[in-house]
Amino acid sequence: MSYRIEKDTLGDVKVPADKYWGAQTERSRNNFPIGDPASMPKEIIEAFGYLKKAAAITNHKLGVLAEEKKDLICKVCDEIINHELDDQFPLVIWQTGSGTQSNMNVNEVVANRAHVLEGNKLGEGERTIHPNDDVNKSQSSNDTFPTAMHIAAYKMLVEQTIPALESLRNALEEKSKEMDEVVKIGRTHWMDATPLTLGQEFSGYVSQIDHGLNAINNSLSHLSELALGGTAVGTGLNTPKGYAEEVAFNIAELTGYDFVTAENKFESLAAHDAIVESHNSLKQVAVSIMKIANDLRMLASGPRSGIGEIIIPANEPGSSIMPGKVNPTQIEAITMVAAQVMGNDVAIGVGGSNGHFELNVFKPMMVANFLQSARLLADAVNSFVERLVIGIKPNNERIQELLNNSLMLVTALNTKIGYEKAAKIAKTAFAEGTTLKESALKLGFLTEDEFDQWVDPSKMIGK
């Protein structure tokens, strides 16, 4: 491999000759050989493309950046936004906690790529665009990285996670309507309880997803606030007047989303409560999904030796040794995702609680976990809907068998003959292996007509 020499304030550094990055990026590559190479999320790099372009436009409008420099910076930023330069961002998540090296990675790539776009060769001649003085003008890593965090998180939620959850919510609601008349036995404490319909059971799942969606949507307003303009500690040192408001406006224009400048830049740099809050809503969804998916796992269990009240799609063979076995693999996948999201929430909470003085230095880890959660939920939910939920069918024969055999139908007799006599009917039926009706008639607590009139599951579902 051939190299060229790049310089920074610490001296000369050898950089791969065909790469656009510079000295600070190469130092970071050498200093942090931790985890997978190039693990910094591409969504963060894309967000940097938006904010660097917006900064150049703003700096030009406010009279501190020449038009030719603005145009060059914008041209390279468009390539970054379109993921044409993804191989130029080799840094890992596990670097400086402010994300400074990733900010400089972008600055160096923009400056060197602009140099080439002007018809020059890398490492030869004087660059028109300087990574610090021009690409990073009116900025600090301390306000650019949290801005990138918010842009990336907001876009991921709006473009991927929310649509997936809306699809799940709608699919569950459709199933709830389809099965609204299917009366089945309820269960509490893993024991038989009073009847309800499958539709009612599924309506609870719909409500859970609704609440999760509301929480995510409510968190977007906090995520829409951008730190850019705070520079090093939140004071806005080295920015022209009106920069913070104008650059947020330009980011909103470029992305099509309602980003605004943060009211308090000190909070935006020193804490990441918006990330903590928004991810907490993702954790809430993960908790709901874990409950819903496990319910479906158990309702579909069997097919002959379990509950077996619903039938789920058979997507692939389930065993390498047991012929004909089919497993609830979509459920297993999505519950693993839910567990990962819950774990990510712990890490994000720890990171958010450790912002010391004027700067939180857990930024890369926090946003990487956030984006992983949002992406995993979107992907898993889409697969879950397509390959499981829309194919769920009631197993009517099994539902009727379990319903008719349940002792908890005796609850309907509480208001007719009293709790004590009703309990005696159930206990006698259980002990003697008879039906409730046989037990009630044997004990002489009511007539056959009264039993048939009062113990009717279809009248016990609250409709």
Active site members? 189, 319
CA distance 313 to 336: 19
The response to whether 411 counts as a known ligand-binding position is no
327 among annotated binding-site residues: yes
3-class DSSP state of 96: coil
Count CB neighbours of 424 within 10 A: 17
The tokens for 100 are 């400074």
Contact criterion met (CB below 8 Å) for 225 and 261: yes
- Residue 141, marked binder: yes
Q: Is 131 annotated as a binding residue?
A: yes
Q: Which residues contact 105 (CB under 8 A, 6 or more apart)?
A: 21, 24, 25, 28, 88, 89, 90, 91
98 is in an annotated binding site: yes
Q: Which residue, among 25, 129, 148, has the nearest Cα to 75 in the 3D structure?
A: 129
Strands, E assignment, 3-108: 3-8, 11-16
167 has binding-site annotation: no
264 annotated binding-site participant? no
- Report whether 132 belongs to an annotated binding site: yes
Closest by alpha carbon to 246, among 64, 83, 45, 48? 64
325 known member of a binding site: yes
105 is in an annotated binding site: no
User: Looking only at Cα atoms, what is the longest distance across the chain?
Assistant: 105
**Is 99 annotated as belonging to a binding site?**
yes
Cα separation, 293 vs 331, in Å, equals 6
Our CA dihedral for 277, 278, 281, 286, rounded to 10 degrees, sits at: -120
Q: Is 320 annotated as a binding residue?
A: yes
- As annotated, the binding site for substrate includes 98-100, 130-133, 140-142, 188, 320, 325-327
- As annotated, the binding site includes 98-100, 130-133, 140-142, 188, 320, 325-327
